[in-house]
Structure 1
Amino acid sequence: MARLRARGRLGARRVRASWLPILQCAVAAGLALWVAGDLFGHVRPFFAPIAAVISLGVSLNSRLRRAAELVVGVSLGVLVGDLIIAEIGSGVWQLMLVVALAITLATFFDGGNLIVAQAGASAVLVTTLLPPGDSGGIDRCVDALIGGLAGILVAAVIPVNPIRFVRRAARRVLDDLVTVLTDIASALREHDRASAARALRRARDTQDGIDELRAAVGGAGEVAAVSPLHRPRRRMLRRYRELADRADYAHRNARVLARRTLTAIEDDERVPPELVDAITELAGAVGALIRELGQDGDRERARPAFLDAVGHSPVLSDRQLTAGPPDGTAAVSVPVLVAQIRSIAVDLLQATGMSRTEALRALRGRLPDADLG
């Protein structure tokens, strides 16, 4: 019973989060059916509401491209189905032939998943639902166009807040980075190979979140382009696009950091505790950036945390590196770890709006002996 209640609460949260996209789909379907049936007088204009719903879906990503792919795919399927069924009739082998030809043409022209799927599905509908010799292929292509345009119009008039989706994806990406950095610091502090290996696996599994953020930024840009209500947000979206790029670079450097951490532990190298503290502070600085995103704050307020993460650790300076550890043992991984910490700090300072030159200059101010390249 408790599990059912938990699943019910989770389902209710999903519905609350998706109520506006659901409303968009319903309104777009009704609008498309009314335009195609009442204004254009098409008989059985079922392709119009189908196209409207699919062009919107319940997500934000690549909506305009999806609408275009939908219209092209439906048009190919309908035309191929109408032309061939009118000549050879309907049946099992006719259906197989029409679907194969429609998908082949869709693959030849583009190969996108939606185009191919809609071409095949439309060919099936035409072959199975419409009697042989029934004309109207052009009308059904127009219905698909009406549905796609209805979806775009509804997205513009009743727009989903594009920043909300982008912010959620950005938080996930930065949360993943905090987790990876925290795991790396913990592995170094405890000299635990298993923890280092786990941190490396997590670091390698973060690309999906980055791809989701890039897709969310692209989709939000499309909404802002067609919706007058959200055009003022285009400047903010450019900042999130820059954040996505810099977070991607930071994650790549974190993967190198995790891999070198595992090597250092396997080789039983001595890593200065101050360097571990710097990684912990760096994770805290990423947390500060997340808080600014969540509060619609100014990203510039997160900059001191990144500078402090580097500046509080003298071991990150070149003078300390060349001096070597106090016991005289070689720690060949330390310079690599230091380079990656510096690189992550530079990447994320750029995510706060700094240029690379400004970020390097700011870090040099905290570490006067450091050659940051």
Structure 2
Amino acid sequence: MVRWGWFRQAAGRLRRGWVVVAEGTLAATVSWLLASWLLGHSRPFFAPAAALIVLGQARGHRTRRALEVLFGVAAGVFVADVLVRALGPGRSWTVFVVILITIVLAVAFGAGSVTVEQAAVSALYVVVVSPPTESLVPFRFVDALIGGAVALVASQLVGARHPLVPLAAEFRRTFGDLARLLGEVADALDAHDEAAALATLDRARGMDAAVGRLRAGVRAAGEALTLRVRRHRSISRLRSVDASIGQIDSVVRNVRVLARAGVNLTRLPTPAPNGLGAAIRSMADAVHAAGEALAADLDGREDAADGHAARAETAALEAVRGAGRLFTPGGTLPLAMIVGHLRTTAIDLLRGIGADDDATLGRVDEALGVPAV
């Protein structure tokens, strides 16, 4: 029974990770074939090695990593070739000196960890496996160039046709999770359930990772767009969404603080005022609509994006208006915090979908009942 369970889990992991398997296998094999058959290199070790190293990096970092691999190979091979000719191949003393000097030079020039690692590995390969000849230096560098280029192409084949689709899905997922959290806060307040509020707060604390995934998705989409000939409009949409991530980060933090205030409110002997849960659910609707607006913008559906943005603004202002009616002189501090963070959430949310800063602030404060200055 346990064995079958393990096989089912393994099959599930393979279904989710088939892209990694396909990318690595094809990129390494194609790199080897290009270097050996097309260019006639007898042992093109660095072609598949460079391909696998580049693919091992997170999407969005692979172009930079490919360049680091190339610089690392070039530096390592150059240092090793010079020193091996002077000290002789295959000796322990030679290995020590070559690795030491290679790493010292790489660090001194400010190389990243991947460049340092690749320079050391390349140097070690020259010393131990394949001592230098007059023609080996360019071959190894060209092999690394082939491997890095093949890896970049292979890593983008899945999303090259629609490079913004995965990012749009990530926006929908993130905003959907935020909306559900707000709904759970509202449910906990309506039920005066401290345990449920604590569980929601715990989940809210994990939302910071979602912002990181959005940033990584933007980098990956930008990398995928390098393969598109007609990419001007896509890049424009990507930049627009990228500019909103700072506001989205603020929305995530506001929701977390709001969830903490919800916990404190459930600990009071008196229940939350009637209507507070409805106000928070209106903000959940606003968050969901804002996510759909950003995703539709990435999809190039401008009319749909405008419609979702309008619904987000309507729901956000309704949330602020409903919460503002509940806060009266003598209200509790947790209630004041919830009202205040509903206000800041509305402001950050509407700015995140492109609303004018000054106009947004005025509309939100008007809905809250704050006199205009």
TM-score range, shorter chain: 0.7 to 0.9
1:206-355 equivalence runs, <5 A: 206-228=207-229, 230-266=231-267, 268=269, 271-291=272-292, 296=299, 298-303=304-309, 304-311=311-318, 314-317=321-324, 321=327, 323-324=328-329, 330-355=331-356
Counterpart of 2:5 in structure 1 is: 3
Hey, what's the Cα distance between the residues in 2 that align with 1:291 and 1:200?
24
Q: Secondary structure at the match of 2:90?
A: coil
Q: TM-score, normalised by structure 2?
A: 0.80
Q: Which runs of 5+ in 2 are unaligned?
A: none
Hey, what's the Cα distance between the residues in 1 that align with 2:103 and 2:183?
49
Q: Which runs of 5+ in 1 are unaligned?
A: none
Q: TM-score, normalised by structure 1?
A: 0.80
1:12-27 equivalence runs, <5 A: 12-15=14-17, 18=19
Counterpart of 1:145 in structure 2 is: 145
Hey, what's the Cα distance between the residues in 1 that align with 2:62 and 2:140?
21
Hey, what's the Cα distance between the residues in 2 that align with 1:306 and 1:268?
34
Hey, what's the Cα distance between the residues in 1 that align with 2:231 and 2:63?
16
Query: Are 1:196 and 1:258, in contact at CA under 8 Å, matched by a contact in 2?
Result: yes
Hey, what's the Cα distance between the residues in 2 that align with 1:372 and 1:150?
60
Counterpart of 2:50 in structure 1 is: 51
Counterpart of 1:198 in structure 2 is: 199
Residues 59/199 of structure 1: CA separation in 2 closer, same or farther (3 Å cut)? same
Query: Are 1:170 and 1:244, in contact at CA under 8 Å, matched by a contact in 2?
Result: no
Residues 12/368 of structure 1: CA separation in 2 closer, same or farther (3 Å cut)? closer
Hey, what's the Cα distance between the residues in 2 that align with 1:52 and 1:229?
27
1:104 and 2:104 aligned: yes
Counterpart of 2:116 in structure 1 is: 116
1:150 Cα offset (Å) = 4.0
AA of the residue aligned to 2:308: A
Counterpart of 1:175 in structure 2 is: 176
Residues 140/345 of structure 1: CA separation in 2 closer, same or farther (3 Å cut)? same
Q: Secondary structure at the match of 1:145?
A: helix
Q: Secondary structure at the match of 2:102?
A: helix
Residues 368/156 of structure 1: CA separation in 2 closer, same or farther (3 Å cut)? closer
Residues 185/113 of structure 1: CA separation in 2 closer, same or farther (3 Å cut)? farther
Hey, what's the Cα distance between the residues in 1 that align with 2:177 and 2:349?
14
Residues 186/39 of structure 1: CA separation in 2 closer, same or farther (3 Å cut)? same
Hey, what's the Cα distance between the residues in 1 that align with 2:372 and 2:13?
50
Counterpart of 1:71 in structure 2 is: 70
Hey, what's the Cα distance between the residues in 1 that align with 2:372 and 2:43?
68
> Taking every aligned residue pair, what percent have the same amino acid on both sides?
30
Hey, what's the Cα distance between the residues in 2 that align with 1:124 and 1:82?
10
Q: Secondary structure at the match of 1:162?
A: coil
Hey, what's the Cα distance between the residues in 1 that align with 2:323 and 2:107?
54
Matched positions, count:
363
Hey, what's the Cα distance between the residues in 2 that align with 1:289 and 1:198?
25
Hey, what's the Cα distance between the residues in 1 that align with 2:8 and 2:286?
34
Residues 342/38 of structure 1: CA separation in 2 closer, same or farther (3 Å cut)? same
Counterpart of 1:84 in structure 2 is: 83
Cα distance per residue 1:259-313 (max 9 Å; x no partner): 3333444455764232222112222332334455667453333332452254266
Cα distance per residue 1:339-358 (max 9 Å; x no partner): 21121122222333323234
Cα distance per residue 1:133-172 (max 9 Å; x no partner): 6762343123223333344456678853421331233234
Q: Secondary structure at the match of 1:104?
A: helix
Hey, what's the Cα distance between the residues in 2 that align with 1:200 and 1:141?
52
Hey, what's the Cα distance between the residues in 1 that align with 2:165 and 2:234?
11
Residues 159/308 of structure 1: CA separation in 2 closer, same or farther (3 Å cut)? closer
